[in-house]
Amino acid sequence: MACIITFKDGGFTAPVGGKFAVDVTPPAGGGLAFLHVIYGEGDPVKAAPYSFEIQKGVKNLHVFYSASSADQQGKTFTLVEVCGANQQTLALNNFDLADPHFAAQIEGV
């Protein structure tokens, strides 16, 4: 599967009807305790694969996660689009116990 999300004019776009999957990569030696992903108005997906179909218009992508241990506070976690054997980085986030969350908007075009 090829990556379909592109960065354009300060935001993300993807073709309507395209399928995409995301994941969170922890820092070296780190781990995830849980991961929940919501795209558009859909229900949370709480287990892999975190796959969705691009909807028309601007839709929110929310990724809630927790590190497997508190010593990962401040360490960088990476939101990636999973594209078969490949992946592309969408965002970086320093883990914060008070706000363990990635947020992005994807415009379906």
Task: For residue range 52-70, list pLDDT tens digits in order.
Answer: 999 999 999 999 998 888 8
Q: Of 33, 37, 48, which Cα lies nearest the Cα of 97?
A: 33
Identify the domain containing residue 21 by its residue range.
Answer: 6-108
Whether pLDDT at 45 is above 90:
yes
- Read off the tokens for 61: 């992508």
Is pLDDT of 1 > 80?
A: no
26, part of any domain: yes
1 falls within a domain:
no
> What total of structural domains would you count in the chain?
1
Amino acid at 72: Q
Q: Is residue 13 part of a domain?
A: yes
With vertex at residue 97, the alpha carbon angle to CA 91 and CA 103, rounded to the nearest 5 degrees, is: 30
How confident is the model at residue 94, as a pLDDT?
92
Q: Is 12 a member of any domain?
A: yes
In a domain, 42, yes or no: yes
- Please check whether residue 74 lies inside any domain of the structure: yes
HSE-CB of 12 using CA atoms within 13 angstroms: 23
For residue 19, tell me if it sits in a domain: yes
Question: What is the torsion angle, in degrees rounded to the nearest 10, for the CA atoms of residue 66, residue 22, residue 57 and residue 1?
Answer: 180
Instruction: Flag whether 69 is in a domain.
Output: yes
